[in-house]
Amino acid sequence: MKIVIMFLSLIFSAGSISCTCIGVNSVKEEINGSDIVVIGTVVSKSYEKFVDSTLASYEKDISLFKYSLAVEKKYKGRITKDTISIYTGPSGGSCGNNFEIGEKYIIYGFKKTYYQRSIKILPKGKNIFWTHKCTRTTRYFEEEEKQIEKYRSKK
């Protein structure tokens, strides 16, 4: 619910937008709410711009970062390759994550993004996922992985 409120405010505000996350989900909540939970290393980064000329001028284009992630461990989700694409906003103001090439991360991701409500031309499909900074997505640390394993072993 917290994330939904944040996304709705992001979608319907036309002026300057800044990201505001309301609270932090527990590992259990984050796993349950995510389509994928993986650990992997970022192997590449690109900047992509998408334009939908059918929309109003203030919402017709969006710029995103696309990261390629070499998956090392999969805890949840349907992934058909060893490398997946992760899309996120370009800055903290758009709730985007800034990943570094060569670094290892724990990704909580989604098949769809809130941007797809208005811009229909955004990428989707197998091995394409979305994340944002209001999730538990983080640089790898062992304690987070232990919490994921603990929760997953209870199921």
Q: Does residue 75 carry a pLDDT above 50?
A: yes
48: CATH: 2.40.50.120
Report the half-sphere exposure of 27 (CA within 13 A, side-chain side).
18
H helix intervals, 18-100: 27-33
Percent of the chain having pLDDT more than 90?
53
- 131/87 Cα distance (integer angstroms): 6
Maximum average pLDDT range among 13-17, 88-92, 125-129: 125-129
Mapped onto helix, strand or coil, the DSSP state of residue 110 is strand
Asked whether the beta carbons of 66 and 42 are under 8 A apart, the reply is no
- 80/42 Cα distance (integer angstroms): 17
Q: Does residue 155 carry a pLDDT above 70?
A: no
Asked whether the beta carbons of 90 and 47 are under 8 A apart, the reply is yes
Q: What pLDDT, in 10s, does the model give residues 21-48?
A: 888 899 999 999 999 999 999 999 999 8
pTM beyond 0.85: the answer is no
Q: Locate the DSSP E strands across 22-148.
A: 36-51, 61-76, 83-88, 104-109, 128-130, 138-139
Any idea which residue has 């017709």 for tokens? 60
Give the range of the structural domain holding residue 144, as residue numbers without chain letter: 2-154
Percent of the chain having pLDDT more than 70?
77
- 97/50 Cα distance (integer angstroms): 18
Domain tally, the chain: 1
